Every structure is written in structure tokens, then in C-alpha cells.
Amino acid sequence: MTKLSVNINKVATLRNARGGNNPDVLQTAIHCQDFGAEGITVHPRPDERHIRYQDVRDIKPHITTELNIEGNPIGKYVDLVLEVKPTQVTLVPDGDAQLTSNHGWDTIENKGFLTDIVGRFKEAGIRTSIFVDPDPKMVEGAKTCGADRVELYTEPYASGYATNRDEAIKPFVEAAIEARQLQMGLNAGHDLSLENLHFFHQRIPWVDEVSIGHALICDALYMGLRETIKLYLACLK
């Protein structure tokens, strides 16, 4: 069954806008898992403009499901992951000033670097996923680097869904089939929503995990966090 991991970065963004601790990021993480989420995702960036490194340390002892830490494996990020030891680490090629993730790794060009990083995390017993575009060659490259899983960057699917969802999903099905043939785990994330999640899961039912933040937190403003998580879980049945 596909797991839902809730990305709580946007909750931290709201907190940071005014200072203080409202909304409470730790309590949000606890509520998400209490309301049925099977994972919590955080994506600390170097400028800590949303999730802070200390947030990750504070959250870890309270997560009884899975904790997934996304990010660009710069030095202090690597140190944080090895200190906290989450269930999963997802390697994302973000630049320092990047607003949000907008592409996956070139796992062929960066093979040496990624192989070294993946090896360090796996040696620590951490499941490792590499964020990739929906390209079978990039999936194969991630396998060569030693990754346990790939996470497909789904923004192109989300942006093409309204126009032609069958065409939009095609490259993702191809990449997902490649991952399955290579016996790799499969995650997906970025701009998945209540509008497009069910069809994605219908076409790729073997996806292990979807990581959803922005759309889910926006929906929760109208419907409440408990009801929103319930609706997203229903899309994955």
C-alpha cells in the first residue's frame, strides 16, 4: 500500500513569518501522524527559511511512523542526517537560493558524488532515495549509485494533468516500470494534490510513498488537517 508522507515545510514558513512558535511545527508533525499520515517529510535548506535544522532534531524523537529528510547533501546537511538517523534520506539537487525543487539529479553525470553520499548514509543504516526526473536512464543511474529508491519529480505531471492526463502520466509510468524492473523502491512528489493524486496512483499503484506538502497544507486551511489527511489517504486506496 502506498504511504502518505506529509511535508510540513509550509507550516514552518508560516511560523517563521512572525517569529515565535505559532503554528507549532513539532505539534503539527505529531498531529499528522495521529491523523493517519504514515510519514513526515522535512526539507531543511541552508538559509533555514522554513524548516530549521533544530526542528529536525526536535521532531525525530516524536515520530513513530517514518521520518524522511530531503535536501541537497552539502556538509552540514550530511552531518544532520547522520546525527538524526531518519528512516529515509532523499537527495535533492537544490541550489542555495532556489525557491522550490524544480529538477532531479543527473545520476550519470554525478555518479561519483552520489555513490559516495549514498554509501555513507547506507552504512549508517538509512534508506536512501534520489530525486530524479521521469527518465528511465536517470532511474538506472540511481541504481548504479547504490540508492534504495528513486523519487520521481512530479511537477511536469501536475502541470500537464488538466490538459491531457494520459500524456502527462506516460513518462512517469515508463520510469516507474524501470524502477520496478531494477527492483528499486519508488517514491513520488511535488505538486501532487487531491485533483491529480488518485489518477497517478491508479496508473502507478506500486509506488511506495508520495510526499505531499504545499497542496495538502493549503487544503487544510479550508478543511482542517484531520479531514484533509483522510481525503489524501482515500486517494491512495
Encode pLDDT of 61-108 as tens digits. 999 999 999 999 999 999 999 999 999 999 999 765 555 556 789 999
Of 50, 140, 178, 190, which residue is the catalytic one?
Answer: 190
Q: What is the pLDDT of residue 48?
A: 87
Of 43, 50, 201, 209, which residue is the catalytic one?
Answer: 43
- Please compute the mean of the pLDDT values over residues 218-224 and round it to a whole number: 97
If we measure between CA atoms, which residue out of 176, 178, 121, 124 comes closest to residue 145? 121
**Does residue 167 carry a catalytic annotation?**
no
Q: What is the pLDDT of residue 110?
A: 97
* Model confidence, pTM: 0.94
Grouping H, G, I as helix, E, B as strand and the rest as coil, residue 166 is helix
Of 66, 70, 178, 209, which residue is the catalytic one?
Answer: 70
**Does residue 70 carry a catalytic annotation?**
yes
Q: What is the pLDDT of residue 102?
A: 62
Q: What one-letter code names the amino acid at 102? A: N
Instruction: Confirm if 148 and 90 have CB atoms less than 8 A apart.
Output: no
Instruction: Find where cell 531518519 sits.
Output: 86
Instruction: Find where cell 537560493 sits.
Output: 97
- What is the tens place of the pLDDT at every residue in 14-63? 999 998 999 999 999 999 999 999 999 999 988 888 999 999 999 999 99
